[in-house]
Each structure stands twice: as C-alpha cells, then as structure tokens.
Chains A and B, each alone.
Chain A
Amino acid sequence: MSTLQCNRLCFHLKLAILWMFFSGAVFCIHVFASTTEVETNSDAGKFIMKSYFENYESLHDSSFEDFMAHQLSSSLCQGIPDNWNVGVRLSVRELSLIGEGSHRHLSSSIRLQIGAASIPKLPAHLCEVIVIQRLPLGVFADPFELQNPHKHKAFRDIAVFGDTNLELPSFQSNRSAVEFHIDAGSNILFMQNNGTEFNLLLPLHARYQPLDESGYSVVEIGEPDMLMRCSVEGKQHKQSCLFMSPPNEKAKSTSATVAWKIPAGMKAHAGFVSVITFVTALLSTLSIVYASMFWSGTKVSKT
C-alpha cells in the first residue's frame, strides 16, 4: 500500500470517526441523555447507620440493638409527654425473596399507621420513614446499583453501610446494612386510620459461601428495622427527631425471616479437583510444547 493511499485512508478514517462522534454525541445529549446525576450521599450525617459505624467497627445484631435502644433515645422527639403514645406503628406486612439464583430481590411491604387520636398531638411537619435492612454474611447489596435513579426514584435517599466489597466470599467479608429514607408525606395530619403502605424492592447478590457437605448454604434475612423521623419547628430553627414503634411491638417473630439457599462448594471435591486440574494443565502444556518444537520453522504443503 503506497504512502499516498495510506494517507488518504487515514484521512477518510479520521473523517468517519469525527462524524461518528458528532452525530452520536448529538443524539446522546438530546435524545437519550438522562440529566439525572447520581448523587453521592452528600449529607451523610443524617444516616443512622453512619452514626452506628462511628461507634462500632462491624455490624452485629447485639451491638445494633443496643445502639437502637440506648444511643438513639437522645434523638427521640421531645416535648411530647410520652413518645410511645403518639401511636406510630411501623410494621412489616410481608417479607419475601423474589427470583432465582445468585441475584434476587428482597421485597418488603411496610405499613405506617398513626392512631387517629394521636394525630392532633403531632405538629405539622415533614416526616420520612427510615428503613434499615440488616444483611447477613452471605449476601450483599451493590451501592452503585442502588444509585440507579430510574429504579429508585421513589426514595429520598439510599445508602449501604458496612462491608461493600463486592468480590470477597462470605467467609472473608463482614456484614452490611442498607438504609432507605422514604418520604412519608408532608401533611401527616390527613393520614387515614388504616395508614399508608410502602413497598421496597432491594436487589441482593449472593457471595460465595463456605464449603458445605450438602452443597448448599442457607442464609436467613430478617425483617428490617423501621423508624420515622420528622422535622419539627423549634424555637430558633428546624430540628429533627425520631419516632419509634413501642418496644413490645418490635419483637420479631421467627416466621418473619426469609431463607435463601445458595450453592456452596463441597470439601469432598478438593482432592481430586486439584489433582485433575494440574494433570490437565500439564497435558496441555506438553501438547503445546511438542507441537511447537515439531512444527516450528516447517511448512505444511497446501492440499
């Protein structure tokens, strides 16, 4: 190929590329471009789990319950003689696992009820429901997947706390938790007696499990923890405070868990798998070495 032809071809290629960029960029910007930007958690201080991890290194049920019972008590709404009498009830109506395999969705149906007699006690304010789904060791949520604006536009905020390493097997990772903030509606005074319901669909992924003789590992996911946070007009500025369901209503029953059966490697395979793997690698190596030495620098006559 002569230099002139090469130069001409390069010129045409550059033109084609420029045209490609221009037309494609115009289309992308004006037709399909989404102007929604993925926001990072700019106001991380409002996340309850962030406060938890400032006090504890990793997520354990006992530590978390201790945190909820004691350290959050200072954030409970003041000025109301008995916070429990406000009659805020957050309950899980249904908890289920949707899908098959290593990628599923945890579906939670949450009901928020505020007793009619209690409504006049609540000042007009802005409230959000906070749902904290603690995840067991064997599963994780992808924080970047949760930032997908198309799937999660109903939520004010979502964040994952704890071990967010997506690649480690469960026996080398720690637990994590997902915190949702959902707008409960600006005028809670008009809420009906039967309350309002929120449906959460949380995409989850299974980690590689510890070896098990049965070939499967069962991971159990419990109900989420729920609170309501309201912005209250204070003397000088707005403050936020928490409402929690009465303690006797927070006890979770064993039926309120979902079980996920995840395939696991079997220790009985370890011996022969290693041997056969190395023997196969060796045989392949010898074949390639033989072929290279026998056929390099020689010709095969055309048929």
Chain B
Amino acid sequence: MISLKPRSILLISAIFRVGLILVGEWQDTHMEVRYTDVDYLVFSDAASLMASGQSPYKRTTYRYSPLLAFLLIPNSFISRCWGKFLFSASDLFVGLFIRIILKQRKVPDDLCTYSMLIWLFNPFTFTIGTRGNCEPIVCAIILWIIICLINGNVVQAAFWYGLIVHFRIYPIIYALPIVIFLDPRFFRSGTKPLLSDWTSDPGKARQINSELIDKCAVCDVWKSTFTRSRILFGLISGTVFLLCTGFFFHLYGWEFLHEALLYHLTRTDARHNFSIYFYHIYLNYERELSVLEKLVSFLPQFIVQLVLILCFAKDLVFCFFVQTVAFVAFNKVITAQYFVWFFCVLPLILPWSNMKLKWKGLCCILLWMGAQTHWLLWGYLLEFKGKNVFLQLWMASLLFLAANTFILIVLIRHHNYGPVFRQHTDLKTTKTT
C-alpha cells in the first residue's frame, strides 16, 4: 500500500518535470537528436509572429487555434521554455483533477493514489508536456469539465466545453454523451445531483443500474429530451465556440478557418502513421476517392461512436474513455500524441475495473506496447533505412488496430458499469456498507 501524500506526489512530479525540461534544453543545445518536439518550435514561431502583430498562420504547419500562440507569447520575452512549463503545469493539474474526481466518488485513498501515479509517472505522459506538446492543456480542461458536470455546474461545464472544442475539435465527440448525461432525473433546478459512490460490491451497482433502466421508458426519454440543463449546455457551449471562432476569423480570415478547423475535419495524410488507412490513402492519392469510398471509411467510426454513446453515456467517464480509444483507433491519421487523449481518462475508470494487473492487466499493457513497437520497427526501416516495407508497415497497423480493439473489448467486459448519478429517492437504499 502506498502511503505517499498527494502533495508529496505532486511536488515530486513537479521537480521531476523541471529536471526533464532542463535536461531537454541541454540535449537540444549539445546533441544531434533534439528532445523538444518539432511542434513546439512551430508553436513558438507562431507565438513570435503573433507577438510582432502578424498572423500566426504565416508559420507553415501551424494548425491550432490562435489561443495557443497567445499562451506562448511569453516564449519570446521571458524564456523559450515558458510553454513547456505551462504544459507541464497542466500535466500536474490533470493529476490533481484525477484525485478530486475519484475522492468525490468516495474511491478509497490507495486507489486514488495509484490512479494519480498512473498519470503523473507514466513515461508517455510526462514526456509529452516536457517536450512541448500542448495536449496536457486539453486533458486538464476535459477533466475540469467532468468535475463541473459531477458537481452540477452546467454553465461552467458548457463554457469550458465550447472553448475546448474550439481549441482542439476532437472533444466534439463528447457532445452527445454529455447531453444524454444531463438527465433531468438528476439535474434538477436548485439541487446538486447525487453521485453514485464507488463500491466494491458488484451487486449494489447492478441494482442501481437495473432500476434506472426499468424506469427509462421510451416515452419518458422522448419527453425529457429538451430540458433546461440540456438546452443551457447546448446554447452556452455553442455560443462560446462561435464567439471564439468568429473573433479569430475576424482577425485572421479564411487562413485561420482553414488551418485551425477545416484542415482537421478533412485531413487525410498519405504519409505513414499508425492508422490502417495510410497505405490505402497513399496508393489512391493520385486519383480522387469516390463519395462511396469516403463514406465507407467514415462508417466504422460513426457506428462505433454511436453504439458506445448509447450503451455507456450514463457512465460518463467510462463513455469518454471508450469513445476516445475508438476515435483514435479508427481515425484516418493516428500520431502518438493522440494517445494522451485517453490516457488522461484511464486512471478515472480503473477503480471500476474488475481486471487485475496480474496477469490480464499486464498482458493488455504488453500487447498494446508490443503492437506499437512492432509498428515502430517497420517505420524505422522505412524512414531511417530506406527499405520498401510499406506492406509490412501497413500490416503492423492492422495488428495495432486489432490490439486496440481487443483491449477495448476486455476493458468493457471487466468494467463495473454504473451511472455516475443516483436518484435522490434512492439515498437510503444505496448507502455503502
């Protein structure tokens, strides 16, 4: 049992990240292989342009909201490391928010600590922020939205949601589950929703779940679709998104719209990446893909997202997790930074999983890392040794999708599914023993 206090964990994490940033700076200066992510240089250049009154989109391959460049303006006059510290600080906030969410759901201390450690000391996640990748900011905001929702703070959740969709687009996949989640049985005017506490008793949770399903008649669902909280969430988040987008469109015109939004919606990259579609796209790049072909490649993503939402929306955190894993796995382009999107939610679902680390959990971890390493090996031969291994690399991406699918199914199977909220009338019967 780990007896570290949360503040000690956060302090050690902070010191560790400072050290990594400094080592990274040394490496960039003295070694051929840079520690800093090439994207960080793009952000910094865009921020310099913005600081001098120019459009950040003059920097080629800058495909983010101007907000990011704005946040990194101090790179130009305080220190070029400013952005890395900002991202690492967001990293620490993710760790804190993980603890806050789990404590609110009465998860035991040791599980909370393990969950924090899974994020804060995951080699993948601590290198992301210290190398200058902006994903920790997105993760922190997503978790803050979850905190707002579980505390019944719909207005604030809507504000941050609108902002984060403007910032990074992909959280749009959470729109429908959030709307379903804002069930009028739990979100009543003037009343804070009651959280379902964590329980190690599968029977109790099954009882809560079945009661909710019994009461959830089709006609009741239809009648309660347009409720105050749902309309409020939609209006506020939509307004924030449109205001941000409109403001930056006014400043930077079509270049902003194309680079920051439309590019991501229509992006197909023929260059090798983890996606199973990369070779198909490359082999067909010289001809225009038919509407049917585009539809067929979009359908798996659409179907999986819809089914996952309908099955798991009430267990919002788990729904976010499975949606994100599936979204990344079926995307036309997959880069390593996308994995952070579901890594930040993973610690939140583990206390509800029946899967033991020994040996099923360990097998899943090794399978996922093995499939990735296998792909990276062929990628290395193609990119750094100049061997024609396109076919092998494509097969490795098929294996990677298979591994992701298998692990997702195993996690679904071992998850103690339960709605986040319970009804007020159920208070006495659902007290944990």
Contact = CB atoms under 8 A, between A and B. Distances in A.
Contacts of A270: 283-284
B96 A281 contact: no
A246 interface: no
Contacts of B213: 297
A155 B104 CA distance: 60
A274 interface: yes
Contacts of B26: 32
Interface string A259-303: 001111111011001101110111011011101110111111111
Interface string B63-95: 000000000000000111110010011001100
Nearest to A278: B296
A280 B297 CA distance: 11
A20 B18 CA distance: 6
Nearest to A205: B383
B14 interface: yes
Interface residues of A, number: 74
Interface string B108-141: 0000000000000000000000000000000000
Label chain B's interface by main secondary structure: helix
A102 to B, nearest CB: 5
B385 A101 contact: yes
A169 B270 contact: yes
A16 interface: yes
B312 A17 contact: no
A150 interface: yes
B413 A295 contact: yes
Interface stretch (A44-52, A58-66, A74-82, A207-215): A207-215
Given A281-B330, A287-B405, A297 B311 contact: yes
Nearest to A10: B96
A164 interface: yes
B189 to A, nearest CB: 23
B430 to A, nearest CB: 15
A292 B307 contact: yes
Nearest to B413: A295
A277 B279 CA distance: 9
A208 B147 CA distance: 45
Contact of B14 (A20, A27, A172): A20
A75 to B, nearest CB: 30
B225 interface: no
Given A13-B10, A292-B307, A100 B384 contact: yes
A262 B383 CA distance: 10
B328 interface: no
Interface in B257-292: 269-271, 276-277, 279-280, 282-286
A98 interface: no
Interface string B328-366: 011000000000000000000000001010000000000
A144 B29 contact: no
A215 B308 CA distance: 41
A274 B354 contact: no
Given A17-B14, A25-B81, A285 B7 contact: no
Residue of B61, B99, B213, B311 with highest tally of chain A CB at under 10 A: B311
A297 B398 contact: no
A84 interface: no
B386 A100 contact: yes
Given A28-B81, A166-B61, A278-B297, A291 B7 contact: no
A288 B307 contact: yes
A251 interface: no
B286 A211 contact: yes
A56 interface: no
Contact of B311 (A102, A150, A278, A296): A296
B417 A299 contact: yes
Question: What 6 A-B pairs come out closest when comparing CB atoms?
Answer: A1-B103, A296-B311, A263-B388, A299-B202, A101-B384, A215-B388
Given A262-B386, A273-B279, A291-B413, 20 more contacts: A1-B100, A13-B7, A16-B14, A20-B14, A20-B85, A24-B85, A32-B26, A34-B29, A100-B384, A169-B282, A265-B282, A274-B284, A277-B394, A280-B401, A281-B300, A284-B300, A292-B322, A296-B311, A298-B417, A303-B354
Interface of B: 6-7, 10-11, 14-15, 17-18, 21-22, 25-26, 29, 41, 45, 60-61, 78-82, 85, 88-89, 92-93, 96, 99-100, 103-104, 200, 202-203, 205-206, 209-210, 213, 269-271, 276-277, 279-280, 282-286, 296-297, 299-300, 303-304, 307-308, 311-312, 322, 326, 329-330, 354, 356, 382-391, 394, 398, 401-402, 405, 408-409, 412-417
Interface of A: 1, 6, 9-10, 12-13, 16-17, 19-21, 23-25, 27-29, 31-34, 38, 100-103, 144, 150, 164-167, 169, 171-172, 208, 210-211, 215-216, 261-267, 269-270, 273-274, 276-278, 280-282, 284-285, 287-289, 291-293, 295-303
18 contacts: A9-B7, A16-B10, A24-B85, A28-B21, A31-B22, A32-B29, A103-B383, A171-B286, A267-B283, A273-B391, A281-B401, A284-B330, A284-B401, A285-B303, A287-B405, A298-B206, A300-B202, A300-B415
